C-alpha cells in the first residue's frame, strides 16, 4: 500500500506517480471554499452507506468546482469526463449570468463562449483548434486535441534536440519516453538517436529527444504527434448529476445550475443566520429585563427550592418565555451580576440591524445574486491565476506530407516501368566528359528513360503511350539508393495492359499553370486546361485521343503567351506560338492539331516550352546524341514559324555521333543529368559547353564504354542551388566528396565542324 505525507522531508510524493509511505493529507485552501458554511444548513444531509453517520448530498461549493476542477469517472452504463477550466474565465462567465438573469440559454451560451476560452489543464500544454471546444460547450460532447509544448534546440554537441517542457493532461513522462523508445526500436519512427527524461523539481518537466544528424525536426515531430501521446485527445463527456438524475449538460447549463445552487445556498445560509440572530436577540431582550430588576432576580434564584420553581417564578417576574428563563438560569450569578446594561443594549441593536438586513436579503433576489458575485470575486482575487494551456489555431488534419520530409529527390523511371526516388545529393557534380557514378542496377533488357528532380510533396503525372494519365505523390514512390532499381509502377498505379510510361511531369498544384500541352510521335500537339486533369481516379484519365499508329511522347506545362519548340529525331525543329489563335484550348478527350509535319520515317523526339518571360539571350537549346555528343544553340537562332511546318535544321547528324536522343532548353546556370544504356548517371553543368550554331555537330559530353549509348537527358531541376553537393571552380561544378566508381574525367570535349 502506498500513501503520502504532507510537509514531510523524509517521505516524498514524486512527480512521476510513485508515492512513499505514511498517510496524511489535507485540503488546499481553495478546496476549503467547497466546504465553507456547510455547518449553516446550506445543504441537505443523508445517511451514509451504513447508516451510522450523515453525509451531505451536495457541497456548498462557493467556487464553480465542476468546471474549474473538472471530473472524471465511470459508473454502470455511464461515464463522465469534464475538463478543468481557468477560475478567472469561469468566474467571468458566472458574473455575466448573474448580471443578466433574464438572458435566454442561447444568449448565455454565446456570452460564455466569449469569456471561457476553453479547458485549462494544470500541466499546461497546447490545445489545437477551437472546433472541438465549441462542440463540447454546445452539445456536452466533443474532442479537444491536446499537444505538448516542444522546442527545437541544440545540445552541447551541436545535435538537434526536441525539448518537451509541457505535456498533455494526464500523460505520464516515463510512459511517454518508453513508448517513443519502443516505436524507434520497431522502426515505426525514424530519425531519433536517444530519449531521456531530464525533469526535476528545479527544472520542471523536461523530456529531451535527441535527433540523428540527418533527421528533419519537423518531420520527426509530426510523426511523434501521430504515434505518441505528445498529441492526445481529451474526449469531453460533460455528464453531471442534476436532482439525482445523470444529464449531459451544455456550458450554459453548468453555469445556470451553479448560479441556482448558489442562490439556494445563500437563501439557506441567510435563513440559518437569521434564525440564530433572532434567537440571540430574544435572549438579549430577556437579559435586559433581568438587569432592570437584577436584585429581584438574584433573590428569586437564591430562594427558589428548585430549578423548575425558579424558572416558573422568573417567567412570571420578568414576563419572559421558558427559553429566555432557561438562558438566564444557565448563567452563573456572578456573571449575571457582572453584565453591563449598555453592552447588552448595543449588542441587541446590532442584532436587530442584522436581522433587518438578513430579512432584506431573503426578500431581494437581486441582492442575493450580488452577494454571490461579490463572494466569487473575493475568491478569484485570492486564488485566481493566469491560463496555463494555450489555444493555437488548427492547421488542418495531419496529412501524409506532414509525416514526410519535404526534400529534393531524383525520380528515375525505366523503360520497363520501374520507378524510384533517390536523394539528389547522392549524385555529385562532375565536369563534362566524366564517366559518372552508378545510378541504377538494371536488367540487361531495361534502361532508364525518365529522370528528373522534384520534391517529395509534389504531384507526379504519369502519361502513358496510350494517352492516359495517372497521378501519385513523389513520396509514394519507393526510396532507393543510386544502385537500386526501385519497384514497378504497377504497385502504385493501375495501368492498363501493355501501357508504357511516355512522360512524367511534376507539379506543386493544379494551379501552377493554366494549360498542359501534349505532343505525339506523329507530330500532333494539344493544349488543355491543367485543371481538367485534377482527378483522383485510381484508374486514370484519358489525356488525349490517339490516332492509329500514334503514341504520346511529351507533356509540359504552358501558358498562352509561351512558345512551343518541337524537335524531331532527324534533327529538325520548329518554333511557334502557343496562344489561343495558334493553338486553341481543347478538351481532354480530343486528338489535337498538327504541330510539326514530319517527312518519311522521321518522328517527333522532344517538345520544349520557351517561356515568354525568360531572357532569351541566356537560353539555348541543348541537343544530345546517343553517341555522347551535344551542343548548345541560342534560342534566338530559332525563329517563329507557323504551326504545322517542317521546321529547320537544328544539328548536323553524322554516323559517328549518332542520332538525337534528347533536346532541352537550358541556361548557363543549369545542370543536366545524362544516363546511359548501362544505367550510369552523369551530372554536369552546361556552362562549359559553349554556344554553337544550329548546323553543327557538337562536342563530346560523355565518355562511353563500348556498346553503351546515351539514352536520355534531363534537367537537374534545382541546379541553381547547386552547390549543396560541390564547389565552383572556374565555372565548373566539381565534386567535394571523394571519387567513387569514376573513370577518367575528360575536361575538353571534341568539337564538330562549324
21 touches 2 (CB < 8 A): yes
Classify residue 38 by its DSSP letter. G
Looking at per-residue pLDDT, the higher value among 5 and 533 belongs to 533
Give the CATH number of the domain where residue 295 resides.
1.10.268.10
Q: In this structure, are 222 and 340 located in the same domain?
A: no
Looking at per-residue pLDDT, the higher value among 230 and 588 belongs to 230
Residue 447 confidence (pLDDT): 58
- Residue where a domain terminates, one of 229, 248, 280: 229
Cα(318)–Cα(145) distance, integer angstroms? 75
Which domain range does residue 426 map to?
406-735
What are phi and psi for residue 258, nearest 5 degrees? -65, -45
> For 189-203, 227-241, 269-283, 603-617, which range has the lowest pLDDT when averaged over its residues?
603-617
Q: Comparing C-alpha atoms, which of 468, 585, 553, 454 is closest to residue 507?
A: 454
Q: Is 483 a residue whose pLDDT tops 50?
A: yes
Rg of the chain (C-alpha set) = 44
Q: Comparing C-alpha atoms, which of 341, 297, 298 is closest to residue 315?
A: 297
Residue 749 confidence (pLDDT): 37
pLDDT digits (tens, 9 = 90+) for 185-202: 998 898 999 999 888 877
Q: In this structure, are 447 and 536 located in the same domain?
A: yes
> For 379-383, 465-469, 597-601, 722-726, which range has the lowest pLDDT when averaged over its residues?
722-726
pLDDT band at 723 (very low <50, low <70, confident <90, very high): very low
pLDDT band at 729 (very low <50, low <70, confident <90, very high): very low
Q: For residue 23, how many C-alpha atoms fall within 13 Å in the half-sphere facing its CB?
A: 3
- Which helix H or strand E contains 328, and what residues bound it? helix 322-329
Q: Is 402 a residue whose pLDDT tops 50?
A: yes
What is the average pLDDT across 578-584? 90
Q: How many CB atoms lie within 10 A of CB 21?
A: 11
- Residue where a domain terminates, one of 314, 348, 366: 366
Cell of 125: 500544454
Q: In this structure, are 434 and 290 located in the same domain?
A: no
Q: How many CB atoms lie within 10 A of CB 311?
A: 19
Q: What percent of the chain has pLDDT over 90?
A: 44
482 touches 427 (CB < 8 A): yes
Q: Is 10 a residue whose pLDDT tops 80?
A: no
Residue 724 confidence (pLDDT): 34
Residue 6 confidence (pLDDT): 54
Helices H / strands E in the chain, number of each: 14, 40
Cell of 735: 565534386
Q: Is 84 a residue whose pLDDT tops 60?
A: yes
Q: Is 133 a residue whose pLDDT tops 80?
A: yes
Report in angstroms the alpha-carbon separations of 242 from 249, 457, 468.
9, 53, 64
What is the average pLDDT across 49-74? 92
In a domain, 80, yes or no: no
In a domain, 326, yes or no: yes
What is the average pLDDT across 683-699? 86
Q: Is 32 a residue whose pLDDT tops 50?
A: yes
What is the average pLDDT across 553-568? 91
Q: Is 415 a residue whose pLDDT tops 80?
A: no
Q: In this structure, are 537 and 420 located in the same domain?
A: yes
Residue 18 confidence (pLDDT): 52
Q: Is 3 a residue whose pLDDT tops 80?
A: no
Which residue's C-alpha cell is 565548373?
A: 732
215 touches 209 (CB < 8 A): no
Q: Is 717 a residue whose pLDDT tops 60?
A: no
What is the average pLDDT across 285-309? 87
What is the average pLDDT across 263-281? 96
Q: Is 277 a residue whose pLDDT tops 70?
A: yes
Q: Is 432 a residue whose pLDDT tops 60?
A: no
Cα(680)–Cα(704) distance, integer angstroms? 10
- Which helix H or strand E contains 360, and what residues bound it? helix 341-363
Cα(682)–Cα(675) distance, integer angstroms? 6
pLDDT band at 441 (very low <50, low <70, confident <90, very high): low
Cα(169)–Cα(172) distance, integer angstroms? 9
Residue 744 confidence (pLDDT): 30
Looking at per-residue pLDDT, the higher value among 559 and 489 belongs to 559
Beta-carbon contacts of 10 under 8 Å, excluding residues fewer than 6 positions away, are none
Beta-carbon contacts of 166 under 8 Å, excluding residues fewer than 6 positions away, are 123, 124, 125, 126, 148, 149, 205
Looking at per-residue pLDDT, the higher value among 26 and 103 belongs to 103
Q: In this structure, are 562 and 623 located in the same domain?
A: yes
In a domain, 396, yes or no: no
What is the average pLDDT across 538-557? 88
Q: Is 746 a residue whose pLDDT tops 50?
A: no
Q: In this structure, are 204 and 271 located in the same domain?
A: no
What is the average pLDDT across 405-433? 73
Beta-carbon contacts of 648 under 8 Å, excluding residues fewer than 6 positions away, are 572, 573, 574, 638, 639, 641, 694
Residue 491 confidence (pLDDT): 67
Q: How many CB atoms lie within 10 A of CB 706?
A: 4
Residue 309 in 3-state DSSP?
helix
Overall domain count for the chain = 4
Q: Is 741 a residue whose pLDDT tops 50?
A: no
448 touches 521 (CB < 8 A): no
Strands 408-414 and 418-423 turn out to be antiparallel
Q: In this structure, are 414 and 362 located in the same domain?
A: no
Cα(721)–Cα(669) distance, integer angstroms? 9
Q: In this structure, are 334 and 417 located in the same domain?
A: no
Q: Comparing C-alpha atoms, which of 250, 167, 235, 242 is closest to residue 206?
A: 167
What is the average pLDDT across 74-79? 89
Residue 668 confidence (pLDDT): 85
Residue 548 confidence (pLDDT): 86
Q: Where are the alpha helices (DSSP H) in 364-457?
A: 365-383
Q: In this structure, are 339 and 461 located in the same domain?
A: no
Cα(224)–Cα(189) distance, integer angstroms? 8
Looking at per-residue pLDDT, the higher value among 431 and 647 belongs to 647
- Residue where a domain terminates, one of 185, 213, 229: 229
pLDDT digits (tens, 9 = 90+) for 627-657: 888 899 999 899 999 999 999 999 888 877 8
> For 97-101, 142-146, 548-552, 696-700, which range has the lowest pLDDT when averaged over its residues?
696-700
In a domain, 129, yes or no: no
Cα dihedral 24, 79, 64, 144 sign: positive
Residue 374 confidence (pLDDT): 96
Residue 601 confidence (pLDDT): 87
In a domain, 224, yes or no: yes
Q: In this structure, are 449 and 331 located in the same domain?
A: no
pLDDT band at 740 (very low <50, low <70, confident <90, very high): very low
Q: How big, in percent rounded to 5, are the helix, strand and coil portions of the chain?
A: 30, 30, 45
Cα(408)–Cα(191) distance, integer angstroms? 18
233 touches 121 (CB < 8 A): no
Residue 406 confidence (pLDDT): 77
Long-range CB pairs of 274-280, under 8 A, 24+ apart, other chains included: 274/355, 274/358, 274/359, 274/362, 277/351, 277/354, 277/355, 277/358, 278/355, 280/347, 280/351
The mean of the pLDDT values for the chain is: 84
Looking at per-residue pLDDT, the higher value among 25 and 472 belongs to 472
In a domain, 570, yes or no: yes
Beta-carbon contacts of 181 under 8 Å, excluding residues fewer than 6 positions away, are 195
Residue 116 confidence (pLDDT): 96
In a domain, 102, yes or no: no
Q: In this structure, are 345 and 421 located in the same domain?
A: no
Residue 604 confidence (pLDDT): 92
Looking at per-residue pLDDT, the higher value among 503 and 122 belongs to 122
Residue 400 confidence (pLDDT): 60
Give the CATH number of the domain where residue 154 resides.
3.30.1360.40
Q: In this structure, are 446 and 572 located in the same domain?
A: yes
Cα(459)–Cα(476) distance, integer angstroms? 10
Q: Comparing C-alpha atoms, which of 714, 572, 582 is closest to residue 651?
A: 572
- Write down how long the chain is: 754
pLDDT band at 683 (very low <50, low <70, confident <90, very high): confident
Q: Give me the residues paired with residue 250 across strands.
A: none
Residue 636 in 3-state DSSP?
helix
Report in angstroms the alpha-carbon separations of 340 from 300, 314, 326, 352, 354.
20, 20, 20, 19, 21
Highest mean pLDDT among 13-22, 275-284, 501-510: 275-284
The gap from C-alpha 85 to its chain's centroid, in whole angstroms, comes to 23
565 touches 608 (CB < 8 A): yes
Q: Residue 690, exposed/middle/buried by CB under 10 A (0-12, 13-18, 19+)?
A: exposed
Cell of 70: 473538472
Q: How many CB atoms lie within 10 A of CB 468?
A: 21
In a domain, 470, yes or no: yes
Amino acid at each position: 500500500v502506498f500513501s503520502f505525507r504532507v510537509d514531510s522531508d523524509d517521505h516524498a510524493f514524486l512527480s512521476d506517480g510513485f508515492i512513499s509511505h505514511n498517510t496524511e493529507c489535507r485540503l488546499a485552501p481553495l478546496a476549503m471554499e467547497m466546504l465553507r458554511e456547510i455547518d449553516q444548513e446550506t445543504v441537505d444531509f443523508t445517511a451514509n452507506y451504513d447508516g451510522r453517520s450523515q453525509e451531505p448530498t451536495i457541497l456548498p461549493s462557493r467556487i464553480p468546482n465542476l468546471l474549474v476542477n473538472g471530473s472524471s469517472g465511470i459508473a454502470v452504463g455511464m461515464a463522465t469526463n469534464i475538463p478543468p477550466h481557468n477560475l478567472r474565465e469561469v468566474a467571468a462567465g458566472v458574473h455575466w449570468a448573474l448580471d443578466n438573469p433574464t438572458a435566454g440559454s442561447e444568449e448565455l451560451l454565446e456570452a460564455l463562449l466569449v469569456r471561457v476560452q476553453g479547458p485549462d489543464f494544470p500541466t499546461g500544454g497546447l490545445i489545437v483548434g477551437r472546433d472541438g471546444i465549441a462542440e463540447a460547450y454546445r452539445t456536452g460532447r466533443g474532442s479537444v486535441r491536446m499537444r505538448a509544448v516542444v522546442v527545437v534546440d541544440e545540445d552541447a554537441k551541436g545535435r538537434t534536440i526536441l525539448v518537451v517542457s509541457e505535456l498533455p493532461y494526464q500523460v505520464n513522462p516515463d510512459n511517454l519516453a518508453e513508448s517513443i523508445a519502443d516505436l524507434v526500436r520497431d522502426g515505426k519512427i525514424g530519425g531519433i538517436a536517444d530519449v531521456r527524461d531530464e525533469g526535476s523539481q528545479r527544472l520542471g518537466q523536461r523530456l529531451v529527444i535527441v535527433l540523428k544528424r540527418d533527421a528533419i525536426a519537423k518531420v520527426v515531430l509530426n510523426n511523434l504527434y501521430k504515434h505518441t501521446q505528445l498529441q492526445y485527445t481529451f474526449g469531453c463527456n460533460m455528464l453531471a448529476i442534476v436532482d439525482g438524475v445523470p444529464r449531459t449538460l451544455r456550458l450554459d447549463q453548468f453555469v445556470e445550475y451553479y448560479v441556482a445552487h448558489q442562490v439556494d445556498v445563500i437563501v439557506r445560509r441567510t435563513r440559518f443566520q437569521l434564525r440564530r440572530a433572532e434567537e440571540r436577540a430574544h435572549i438579549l431582550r430577556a437579559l435586559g429585563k433581568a438587569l432592570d430588576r437584577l436584585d429581584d432576580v438574584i433573590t428569586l434564584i437564591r430562594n427558589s427550592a428548585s430549578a423548575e420553581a425558579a424558572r416558573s417564578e422568573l417567567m412570571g417576574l420578568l414576563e419572559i418565555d421558558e427559553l429566555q428563563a432557561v438562558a438566564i438560569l444557565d448563567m452563573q450569578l456572578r456573571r449575571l451580576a457582572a453584565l453591563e446594561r449598555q453592552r447588552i443594549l448595543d449588542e441587541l441593536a446590532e442584532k436587530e440591524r442584522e436581522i433587518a438586513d438578513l430579512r432584506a436579503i431573503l426578500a431581494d433576489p437581486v441582492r442575493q445574486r450580488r452577494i454571490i458575485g461579490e463572494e466569487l470575486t473575493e475568491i478569484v482575487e485570492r486564488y485566481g491565476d493566469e491560463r496555463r494551456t494555450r489555444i493555437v489555431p488548427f492547421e488542418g488534419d495531419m496529412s501524409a506530407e506532414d509525416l514526410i520530409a519535404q526534400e529534393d529527390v531524383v525520380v528515375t523511371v525505366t523503360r520497363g516501368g520501374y520507378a524510384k526516388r533517390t536523394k539528389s545529393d547522392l549524385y555529385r557534380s562532375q565536369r563534362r566528359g566524366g564517366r559518372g557514378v552508378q545510378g541504377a542496377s538494371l536488367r540487361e533488357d531495361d534502361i532508364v528513360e525518365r529522370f528528373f528532380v522534384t520534391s517529395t510533396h509534389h504531384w507526379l503525372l504519369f502519361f502513358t503511350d496510350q494517352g492516359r494519365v495517372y497521378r501519385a505523390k513523389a513520396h509514394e514512390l519507393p526510396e532507393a539508393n543510386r544502385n537500386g532499381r526501385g519497384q514497378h509502377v504497377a504497385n502504385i498505379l493501375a495501368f492498363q495492359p501493355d501501357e508504357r510510361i511516355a512522360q512524367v511531369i511534376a507539379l506543386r498544384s493544379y494551379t501552377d499553370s493554366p494549360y498542359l500541352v501534349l505532343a505525339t510521335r506523329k507530330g500532333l500537339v494539344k493544349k488543355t486546361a491543367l485543371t481538367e486533369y485534377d482527378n483522383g481516379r485510381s484508374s486514370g484519365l484519358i489525356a488525349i485521343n490517339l490516332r492509329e499508329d500514334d503514341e504520346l511522347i511529351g507533356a509540359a506545362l504552358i501558358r498562352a503567351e509561351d512558345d512551343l519548340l518541337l524537335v524531331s529525331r532527324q534533327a529538325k525543329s520548329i518554333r511557334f506560338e502557343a496562344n489561343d489563335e495558334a493553338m486553341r484550348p481543347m478538351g481532354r478527350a480530343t486528338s489535337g492539331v498538327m504541330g510539326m509535319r514530319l517527312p518519311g520515317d522521321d518522328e517527333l523526339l522532344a517538345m520544349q516550352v520557351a517561356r515568354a518571360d525568360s531572357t532569351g539571350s541566356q537560353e539555348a537549346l541543348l541537343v544530345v546524341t546517343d553517341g555522347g555528343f551535344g551542343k548548345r544553340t541560342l534560342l534566338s537562332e530559332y525563329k517563329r514559324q507557323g504551326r504545322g511546318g517542317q521546321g529547320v535544321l537544328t544539328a548536323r547528324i553524322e554516323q559517328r555521333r549518332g542520332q538525337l536522343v534528347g533536346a532541352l532548353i537550358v541556361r548557363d546556370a543549369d545542370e543536366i543529368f545524362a544516363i546511359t544504356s548501362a544505367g550510369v548517371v552523369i551530372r554536369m553543368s552546361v556552362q562549359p559547353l559553349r554556344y554553337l550554331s544550329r548546323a553543327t555537330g557538337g562536342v563530346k559530353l560523355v565518355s562511353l564504354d563500348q556498346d553503351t549509348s546515351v539514352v536520355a537527358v534531363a534537367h537537374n531541376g534545382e541546379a541553381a542551388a547547386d552547390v549543396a553537393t560541390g564547389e565552383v571552380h572556374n565555372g565548373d561544378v566539381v565534386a567535394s566528396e571523394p571519387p567513387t566508381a569514376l573513370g577518367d574525367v575528360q575536361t575538353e570535349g571534341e568539337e564538330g565542324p562549324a
